[in-house]
Structure 1
Amino acid sequence: MAQEALTALLDAAHAARGGLLARLHAESTDAYRLFHGSVEGESGLTVDRYGELLLVQSFHRTLEPAAVEAIESFYRSRIAGLKLVYNDRSAKNSRIGNPLSAEAMAIATTPVIAREMGVKYQIQARHDGQDPWLFLDLRAARRRVMAEAAGQSIKSLLNVFAYTCGVGVAAAKAGADFVVNVDFSETALKVGKDNAALNELPQRLRFIKSDAFAAMRQYSGIGQPQRVRGKPMPPFPKLEPRAFDLVFLDPPRYAKSPFGVVDLVNDYPALFKPALLCTAEGGTLVCCNNVAQVEREAWLDQLERSARKAGRPIREAEWIVPEADFPSRDGKHPLKMLLLRV
């Protein structure tokens, strides 16, 4: 794409966000998507702001140096002080493939602080993983969880597949007294611990390195077998049964577990049932599904049937929609978020 055409797309996207950015800045938020290429004219290209970091990522094809320069020049004229890092993720498995100069790598590997609704998050453009440490399209869900915590309707929260624990930190910041974050990555949990300290919240959060099924089965009282398919189970942290006011379930599309597989297309109920049984009677369960091909109404129907079968029918269901920096042509966002009263 010619530089002039790309600049025109960036300009249109920036103009469309004028009111949104003013509202976000007013609530102490400087982390948001500036360009959502799949809808705004250049599929596979995203531009995100995290504090002073401008993170440019391409998923379909490598950007030419002139295009990167055009992006940097455009946003330099709109938002002072941003430092650009470009991650080319167009190779297989979305791995970051492009080398950086020593100066650019220093910027990419130095943590910066981004703010969202007054909560501070540590962000690093390049690290051992490939995804950003804070998923911006999940802001709407973090906002809702914070509202629930601030309104005292939740005091305890279980955050499963917590990654860097953004939801848990936000809930604790808003007033939740007891927050448990479960993830199998020690590295991701370390970021969550740093964010808890950054927000002066370490006493309110617990971090558990564990398989999600193992944690949920123990909290729900289901228990777990010593052997699965003839193989002994690996050791997991011992957890006492406990019901939570809110359970937040944000699994990856597909992952293997000693208990089977995480499969958001074919078997979401395998995750949903233990999460539901960890939720207190009259509590709240927030479920996420980031697979674009999954139709949201069919998914909700699947969850309603699973809940009835488990003897915990859904009393109320509410869709949480990504905010306006993630526009959609037809309202069918790839990320689907459901708040369920159970």
Structure 2
Amino acid sequence: MPYTASLSDLLANALAHRSTLLSQLELEQTDCYRLFHGSVEGVAGLTIDRYGDLILVQSFHKPLTDEILTIIRRFYADVHPGFDLIYNDRSARNSRITNPLPDDQVAAASMPRVAHETGVAFRIQARHSGQDPWLFLDLRAARRRVTQLASGRSVLNLFAYTCGVGIAAAHAGATFVMNVDFAQSSLDVGKENAKLNALGIRPRFIQSDVFPAIRQLSGLGQAQRVRGRRLPPFPTLEARQFDLVFLDPPRYAKSAFGVVDLINDYPALFKPSLLATRPGGTLMCCNNVAQVEGTAWLAQLERSAAKAGRPIRDAQWIRPDADFPSFDDNPPLKVLELSV
């Protein structure tokens, strides 16, 4: 690869550019962050993250050569001596991890670990049955904002994954937290995260397709049959409104209950989430599709809110921290804090 001669310099430059942020994160009791964001910092498709005492290297465009891996290992052995470094090649179809590990790295890759963000402990594992890390680091700024808002409030965390937002909210003093996700395996990690922290409440973990869950919570209701066809079973939930609702859907997903489509139909999820947010509350919306332009997306949400009779009173952008730089200050992950 043409960048081998300068890769060490690129890694060093990335670390230098993070110096101010890393000092802030240390004060916040955070030991997980992106060390190298290759798409902007010189090697497209390469990411390098720290999670506690783990360095996780991942390639998304093409496998790394042994030469490249050796350069990376040597660099971070000096920066973080004693840390385990695990490489996941995710360049194959569907981003599945394909590279076998040397025998001496298998145990380290599957070992349960703990990393911290703003003083909150999270379960981390380099390799597990899923594809993605158990804590998405680009969402840190949004989780930080949740911790600033959550004290004394009820919180609904939709598409909760491993419940990072919900656990952070409970840790910050939320009075009630409900996490909703379709994958029980992700919720199980969320339950482990809850046990790792001294929480003042016991968060709820709801295994459900988000569509029937949010329709019930919003008061819109979810039918058990559509056009004579019986829908899959789903948990029964009472309608209620929350002080803070966090909506972080995937780019695209299809189920018997509806289609998640962040490009063409964000309002399908936005409207019931808005109705489940109490008047005067906060709705935080995420969109991770790079080609969605922020101003147009906000205008779409404003139109949807007005049509639902719940206009947006104020909107603030929450931008990722400096370890997720972007070429044009328009990062792929867009997060809006909406006062409704």
Q: Which residue of 2 aligns with 1:284?
A: 282
* Partner deviation per Cα, 1:62-103 (whole Å, 9 max, x = no partner): 000121121111011112221101000111111111111222
Alignment of 1:110 with 2:111, yes or no, is yes
2:75 corresponding residue in structure 1: 74
Q: Which has the higher mean CA deviation after the structures are superposed, 251-260 or 130-139?
A: 251-260
> Is the Cα contact below 8 Å between 2:170 and 2:200 reproduced in 1?
no
Q: Which amino acid aligns with 2:310?
A: R
* One-letter amino acid of the structure 2 residue matched with residue 261 of structure 1: V
- 1:287–1:337 contact (8 Å) kept in structure 2: yes
Supply the distance in 2 between the matched residues of 1:86 and 1:60 (Cα, whole angstroms): 14
Q: Which moved more, 1:221-230 or 1:308-317?
A: 221-230
Q: Secondary structure at the match of 2:324?
A: coil
Say whether residues 1:333 and 2:331 are aligned partners. yes
Choose which of 185, 203, 206 in structure 2 pairs with 1:205: 203
1:18 deviates by 1.3
Partner of 1:221: 219
For residue 3 of structure 1, what is the aligned residue in structure 2?
A: 4
The offset of 1:260, in angstroms, is 1.8
Name the SS of the counterpart of 2:150 in structure 1: helix
SS in 1 for 2:88: strand
Instruction: State the shift of 1:276 in Å.
Output: 0.5
Inter-partner Cα distance in structure 1 for 2:210 and 2:269:
9
Please list the CA deviations of residues 175-205 of structure 1 after superposition, one character each: whole Å capped at 9, or x if unmatched.
1010000001010000000000100328430
Greater mean deviation of Cα atoms: 318-327 or 66-75 = 66-75
AA aligned to 2:85 is: L
Show the counterpart of 1:275: 273
CA contact (8 A) 2:252 2:260 kept: yes
The residue type equivalent to 1:142 in the other structure is R
Q: Which residue number in structure 1 is paired with residue 245 of structure 2?
A: 247
What is the CA-CA distance between 1:19 and the residue it aligns to? Answer: 1.6
Amino acid corresponding to residue 113 of structure 2 in structure 1: V
User: Aligned pairs, how many?
Assistant: 339
Corresponding residue for 2:28? 27
Is 1:293 matched up with 2:291? Answer: yes
Alignment match, 1:83: 84
Partner of 2:62: 61
Q: Which stretch has the larger CA shift, 230-239 or 8-17?
A: 230-239
Could you list the per-position Cα deviations for residues 34-56 of structure 1 after superposition, in whole angstroms to 9, with x for gaps in the alignment? 00000000000000000001000
CA contact (8 A) 1:228 1:258 kept: no
CA distance in 2, matches of 1:15, 1:178: 41
1:140 aligns with 2:141: yes
* Match status 1:317 vs 2:315: yes
SS of alignment partner, residue 79 of structure 2 = coil
Provide the TM-score with structure 1 as the length reference.
0.97
3-state SS of 1:25 partner: helix
What letter matches 1:213 in structure 2? F
1:41-60 equivalent positions in 2, closer than 5 A: 41-60=42-61
Name the TM-score, length of structure 2 as normaliser: 0.98
Partner of 1:92: 93
Residue identity in the other structure for 1:40: E
Which structure 2 residue ranges, 5 or more long, are not aligned? none
Are 2:150 and 2:244, in contact at CA under 8 Å, matched by a contact in 1? no
AA aligned to 1:68 is L
Tell me if the contact between 1:228 and 1:259 (Cα under 8 Å) persists in the aligned partners.
no
Name the Cα RMSD after superposition: 1.1
CA distance in 2, matches of 1:306, 1:26: 40
Give the gaps of 5 or more residues in structure 1: none
Match of 1:37, as an amino acid?
G
Render the CA deviation track for 1:78-136: whole Å, top value 9, x for unaligned: 12221101000111111111111222121111111100010000101111110100000
Q: Distance in 2 between matches of 1:307 and 1:156?
A: 21
Opposite residue 311 of structure 1, the aligned amino acid is G
CA distance in 2, matches of 1:229, 1:114: 48
Q: For residues 279-312 of structure 1, give each alpha carbon's deviation from its aligned partner in whole angstroms, at most 9, with x where no partner exists.
A: 0011000000000010011000000000000010
Moved more, 72-81 or 167-176: 72-81
Structure 2 partner of 1:184: 182
Given that 1:196 and 1:202 are in contact with CA atoms closer than 8 Å, whether structure 2 keeps it comes out as no
Q: CA–CA distance in 2 between the matches of 1:259 and 1:13?
A: 44
Is residue 51–residue 114 contact of structure 1 (8 Å, CA) maintained in 2?
yes
Question: 2:53·2:83 contact (CA, 8 Å) conserved in 1?
Answer: yes
Displacement of 1:229: 4.0
CA–CA distance in 2 between the matches of 1:200 and 1:257? 36
User: Structure 1 residues 202 and 66 mapped into 2: Cα distance closer, same or farther (>3 Å)?
Assistant: farther
